[in-house]
Structure 1
Amino acid sequence: MIVVTTPTGQIGRQIIDLLLDAGAPVRVIVRDAARLPARVRESVDVVEGSHNDRELLTKALADADSVFWLVPPAMTAPSVVGHFNEFTRPFCEAVTETGVARVVAVSTLGRGATRNAGQISASLAMDEMIEATGVHYRTLELPGFMENMLRNIPSLKAAGVFSSPVTPDRAQPAVAVRDIAAVAARLLLDDTWEGQEGVQVLGPEDLSANDMAEIMSEVLDRPIRFQQISPEEQKALLISYGASEDAAQGLIDMMTAIDRDGIYHAQPRTPGSRTGTSFRQWCEDVLKPAFAE
C-alpha cells in the first residue's frame, strides 16, 4: 500500500495518476474527498481529514509500505517553522508507531549550505526530523517550480511583466511539476531501496529571469520583460495578498538565500538529476494554454 498526502495538489494528483496507471494500491489522505477526480475516488482507499492529525496518520499508515509526504504551503500561517512542525511531528510519531518502511518527501536544495532561509530552512529541518525516525528516506531536493510562473499570468496579460527581487541575469535551476511527480512515483513503486539520501530533481538547464522573459516572449508571441523590485516591495505585495508577516519574511529570506548566497548551486548536479522538461517546453505545454484561458 502506498499512501499519498496532498492528493489534490499539483504534485500529488499527478503522482496518483502514475501510481494507478502502474496498478499500485493507493490510499490518500484528503480533507475533502469530493475534490478528488471520479477515477481516483473509485480506485483508491480514502482517509478523510488533515495529515497533521496524529490519530488519523496512524490509521492511514497502519499497513502502508511507502508514503509520499508533503507539508502543504500556508502563506497565512503565523509561523513558518510552527507550520512545518505542526505537520512533521505527528507524522514522525506515526511513522515510528506503524513501522512504515519508506518515505519520499518534497524538500529543497541547499542542505548544509544555508541558515535563516525561511521556508527552505524549515523544510531542511523537516528532513532531519524524519531521518531521526530511522525510516528509509528519499528527500526530493528541488529548486523553484516552473509552475510558479502561473501566478504571474494576470500581470503578464495586463502589462507583459513579471517581477521579483532576484538579480535579472543570475541563472538558477527550475523544474516542472510533472518531472517531480515522475521521480516520486518511481521511488514509491520501488521497494528495493534503503537508507537515507537526497535526490536532486532539476530541469535540464539553469535560466535567469531575463532568459525566461525571452522564452516567454517567443512562445506567447508578445513582449514579456522582467522587472526587478526591492525585497521590501515584494514583502508588501505578499502581505497585501493575505500572507502573514512571518510567511512573507520567510519568502524574502528564501529568495535572498537563493539569489545572493547561491544555495541552489551549493552542491553540483548529480548524473541523474537532469529531468526532461525544459522551460520552453513547459511554456508550450502549460503556460500558453493557461495564458489563453
Structure 2
Amino acid sequence: MSSTTTERVFIIGGTGNTGTVAVRDLLAKKVPVTLYARNPEKVASLFSTTADDESALKVVQGDLQDLAPLKKALAGHTRLLLVVNDFENMVQIKTDVAEAAYGAGIKQIVDISSLTVTDAWRSSYIGTIHLESEQVLLAAAKAHGTNVVTLRPTRFLSNMLRHDRPGPTSFTDNADPDAPQGWISPNDIGAVAAVILSDDVKKHRNAAYTMVGDVITAKQRAEIFTRVLGRPIAYHQLTVLERYNALAAHLSFFPFTALYDLASMRDHSPLVSRGLVILLGRNPETFEEYVKANKQALTL
C-alpha cells in the first residue's frame, strides 16, 4: 500500500473492539499505522492483508507495564490513539504515555475516556479515574502546545457478547424494565477515532465528544433479541446485589469499586448524541443493528 500522507499514527489498544476498527479505517485511508501490542501474532491474524507491509502497518511488541519499547518507537509519529482498560493504573499510564508522546513530537492524542466523567464529582470510581486521566492529558497537551481529543462513550454494545449475553430464554440487568439506557457501538467509537486522526489537527483542537448512539429500555432490548434471534427472550430484572454477584463472577479481574459502580449505576435521562452523525457522516449504529450484525455470535 502506498501512503498518500506524511502522517503516521501510533496506536495503543489496537487489537480490541474499538482499536481494530480504527486501524482498519486508517489503513483504508492509506494512513500508516504502528501498533503497540503484546502479541504480534494476534496483530497478524487481525490485519492479515497488511501485516507484511511495514510501510502500512508496523508492530512494536510491548505492554503497558514497561513503556521502554513504546518510548523508543514514538519518534517519527504525528498522532496517537490511546485505549487503556487498566482501571487501577490508568491515570499513571496515561500520564506517562502523554509525556513520552508529546516529548517525541506527537501533535495529537485521541483518548478513549468515558461518559461517567460527567457524573457528580467523586460519585463513582470509574468516573473519577477517567476524569483524572482527562485532566492530566489536557494539562500535558497545553504544556507542550499540542492537542488531545477526548471521546466519552456510554456503555458498549459489545457487552452483550461478553458478560451481558442473552441466555436461551432470558437476559438480566438491574434496570427498571421501562428505564431508558444509553448505548454505543465500539464500531462507531473506532470510526470516530479514525476520522479525527486523519482530519487536520486544527479541526478538533482539544474537543471532547459525548458518544451515545442509541437509547432503549430493557423491555425494548427483550423485544429486539426475540425478533432478531428468533426465540423468545425475556428480561429478568436483578436486584443490585444479584447484579453485583453476577458481574463479579464474570469480571473478577475488575477492582471492587468498578464492580460496585457497574452494579449500582443508573442512567439519568440519557439522550442520543446529536453531533455523532456529523463526526461519522452517517447515523450511529443502533442496538438492533448491532444484534443483527452479531446474530451468529449470539446464536446458541
TM range (shorter): 0.7 to 0.9
> Hey, what does 1:30 align to over in structure 2?
37
Provide the C-alpha distance between the structure 1 equivalents of 2:140 and 2:230, rounded to a whole number of angstroms. Answer: 51
Alignment match of 1:185 (pick from 148, 172, 194): 194
Corresponding residue for residue 249 of structure 1: 257
Local SS of the residue matching 1:39:
coil
Where do 4+ consecutive residues of structure 1 move more than 6 Å?
none
| Distance of 2:171 and 2:128 partners within structure 1 | 26
- Asked whether the 8 Å contact 1:52–1:86 carries over to 2, the reply is no
**Cα deviation digits, residues 225-275 of structure 1 (max 9, x gap):** 22121222222233333615x62431332453433xx2x74xx65541244
Q: Which residue of 2 aligns with 1:77?
A: none
Structure 1 pair 152–251 and aligned structure 2 pair: CA distance change class (3 A): closer
Shift of 1:137: 1.2
Judging changes above 3 Å, is the alpha-carbon distance between structure 1 residues 56 and 191 closer, same or farther for their aligned structure 2 residues?
farther
Structure 2 residue aligned with 1:140, among 123, 128, 151? 151
Deviation at 1:155, TM superposition (A): 4.9
- What displacement does 1:39 show? 2.5
User: What displacement does 1:173 show?
Assistant: 1.7
The answer to whether the 8 A contact 1:54-1:93 is kept is: no
How far, CA to CA, are the matches of 2:59 and 2:104 in structure 1? Answer: 18
Q: Secondary structure at the match of 1:27?
A: strand
Partner of 2:110: 104
1:171 aligns with 2:177: no
Aligned AA for 1:39?
Answer: T
**In 1, Cα distance between the equivalents of 2:150 and 2:161?**
25
Deviations 1:23-58 (A, max 9, x none): 111111000101112234223111100134332232
Aligned length: 276
Give the AA of the match of 1:148: N
Distance in 2 separating the partners of 1:252 and 1:209: 20
For 1:71 and 1:84, locate their aligned partners in 2 and report how far apart those are by CA, in whole Å. 7
Q: 1:151 aligns with which of 147, 162, 185?
A: 162
Retained in 1: the 8 A contact 2:10–2:79?
yes
Instruction: Give the counterpart letter for 1:273 in structure 2.
Output: L
User: Could you give the per-residue CA deviations for residues 153-201 of structure 1, whole angstroms, max 9, x where no partner exists?
Assistant: 76522xx221122222211221111111111100011133353121122
Q: Whole-Å Cα distance in 2 between the matches of residues 234 and 249 of structure 1? A: 14
Match among 16, 31, 44 for residue 9 of structure 1:
16
Aligned counterpart in structure 2 of residue 68 of structure 1, from 81, 84, 94:
81
Q: Unaligned 5+ residue runs, structure 2?
A: 1-7, 278-282
Superposition TM-score, scaled by structure 2 size: 0.83
More deviation, 109-118/173-182: 109-118
Contact persistence 1:116–1:253 (CA under 8 A): no
**1:272 equivalenced with 2:261 (yes/no):** no
Measured at CA, do residues 69 and 52 of structure 1 come closer, stay the same or move farther in structure 2, by a change above 3 Å? farther
Measure the CA separation in 2 of the matches of 1:96 and 1:52.
19
Could you tell me how far 1:98 is from its partner in structure 2?
A: 1.3
Shift of residue 149, structure 1, vs aligned partner? 0.8
Percent of counterpart pairs with the same letter? 24
Work out the CA distance in 1 between the residues paired with 2:68 and 2:164: 40
- For the Cα contact (< 8 Å) 2:110–2:148, is it kept in 1? yes
Listed one character per residue, the Cα deviations across residues 106-142 of structure 1 (whole Å, up to 9, x for unaligned) are 1111434332322232122211111110231111111
Query: Is 1:289 equivalent to 2:292 in the alignment?
Result: no
TM norm structure 1: 0.85
Rounded to whole Å, the distance in 2 between the matches of 1:137 and 1:256 is 31
Pick 1 or 2: higher relative contact order, CA cutoff 8 A, min separation 6.
1
Amino acid at match of 2:233: I
**Equivalent pair of 2:22/2:193 in contact (CA under 8 Å):** yes
